[in-house]
């Protein structure tokens, strides 16, 4: 069964794209079939996957506006063994155009329908805003993965995102669930980070992944080479952390699958 996971947080620079690219490569390394959907006009996940966003004939924008079959636009990442539905700044226009259309939140879900079963996971990289693109991602998704930095305003931003998730659940996508909350760029020597982390654990319990992503320079460097950290420095703490996250997600999803089968 395919899992469609939106990687979302309206706060900028919290590690959404880094998580999307590196989790895609790490899950692919565990023999899962992966599609990464770049839904951010910044095209960072596209570039980070070694695809030149300035040289694209077709992008996710063409797919959303129903001009192009999705299979024609998907291409392989340069390294990492996963597929990419790429994006660039054209997507800004799609956001405006989508608003003018009826049922404008379901375009991505409809567009993905023809390919979704070819993959075990579809990861969607969201823009740093709660806009029509993010609504499309949350409507297409089964679950949301929320990367967050453990700092002062983080919890506040989280409650706005939770409200949006609730609204989407009450309207277009009743099955939408939180897959997990991921602590990113974590520095255990920072007291505030530890404090916010324990608040997070007491509020969200086991929805917070056990895996913590440390601040690691290799993770920041890898995109400039157009590849996931696993193909930049596979022994780095960043690479090991994302492999651990892939392991945790595989175990968690296998557990859920078993529960479902046992329940009939």
Q: Provide the binding-site residues for Mg ion, judged by CB under 5 A.
A: 16-17, 44
Instruction: Show the tokens assigned to 99.
Output: 């608003």
Nearer to ligand ATP, 86 or 238 (CB): 238
Residue 13 binds ligand ATP (CB under 6 A): yes
Query: Among candidates 182, 165, 158, 152, which has minimal Cα distance to 252?
Result: 182
User: CB under 5 to 8 A by kind: which of ligand ATP, Mg ion, none does 14 bind?
Assistant: ligand ATP
Q: Are 46 and 215 in contact (CB under 8 A)?
A: no
Residue 134 binds ligand ATP (CB under 6 A): no
Rule CB under 6 A: choose which of 4, 5, 213, 229 binds ligand ATP: 213
Torsion of CA 227, 232, 238, 244, to 10 degrees: 80
Supply the Cα-derived Rg of the chain in whole angstroms.
17
Provide CB contacts within 8 A for 241, sequence distance 6+: 211, 212, 213, 214, 216
- Between CA 208 and CA 160 the distance in angstroms is 18
Residue 184 binds ligand ATP (CB under 6 A): yes
* Shortest distance, position 97 Cβ to Mg ion, whole Å: 22
Rule CB under 6 A: choose which of 3, 16, 179, 227 binds ligand ATP: 16
Nearer to ligand ATP, 28 or 133 (CB): 133
Residue 144 β-bridge partners: 6, 178
Rule CB under 6 A: choose which of 5, 6, 8, 14 binds ligand ATP: 14
Interface segment toward ligand ATP; rule CB under 6 A; list 80-88, 104-112, 189-197, 216-224:
216-224
Residue 228 binds ligand ATP (CB under 6 A): no
Query: Among candidates 66, 90, 67, 22, which has minimal Cα distance to 231?
Result: 22
Instruction: Show the tokens assigned to 171.
Output: 């309207």
Nearer to Mg ion, 44 or 107 (CB): 44
Binding site for ligand ATP (CB under 6 A): 12-18, 40, 42, 44, 128, 184-185, 213, 215-216, 219-220, 223, 238
């Amino acid at each position: 069964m395919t899992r469609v996971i939106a990687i979302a947080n309206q706060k900028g620079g919290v590690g959404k794209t880094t998580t999307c690219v590196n989790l895609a490569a790490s899950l692919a390394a565990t023999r899962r079939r992966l599609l990464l959907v770049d839904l951010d006009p910044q095209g960072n996940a596209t570039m980070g996957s070694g695809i030149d966003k300035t040289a694209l004939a077709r992008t996710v924008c063409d797919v959303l506006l129903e001009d192009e079959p999705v299979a024609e636009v998907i291409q392989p990442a340069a390294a990492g063994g996963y597929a990419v539905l790429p994006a660039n700044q054209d997507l800004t226009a799609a956001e405006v155009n989508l608003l003018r259309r009826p049922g404008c939140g379901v375009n991505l879900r409809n567009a993905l329908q023809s390919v979704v079963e070819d993959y075990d996971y579809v990861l969607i990289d969201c823009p740093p805003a709660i806009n029509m693109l993010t609504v499309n991602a949350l409507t297409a998704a089964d679950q949301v993965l929320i990367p967050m930095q453990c700092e002062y305003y983080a919890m506040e931003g989280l409650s706005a995102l939770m409200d949006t998730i609730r609204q989407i659940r009450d309207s277009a996508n009743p099955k939408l669930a939180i897959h997990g909350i991921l602590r990113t760029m974590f520095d255990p020597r920072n007291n505030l980070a530890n404090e916010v982390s324990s608040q997070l654990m007491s509020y969200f319990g086991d929805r917070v992944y056990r895996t913590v992503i440390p601040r690691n320079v290799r993770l920041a460097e890898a995109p400039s080479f157009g590849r996931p950290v696993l193909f930049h420095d596979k022994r780095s703490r960043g690479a090991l952390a994302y492999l651990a996250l892939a392991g945790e997600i595989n175990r968690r999803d296998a557990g859920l699958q078993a529960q479902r089968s046992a329940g009939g």
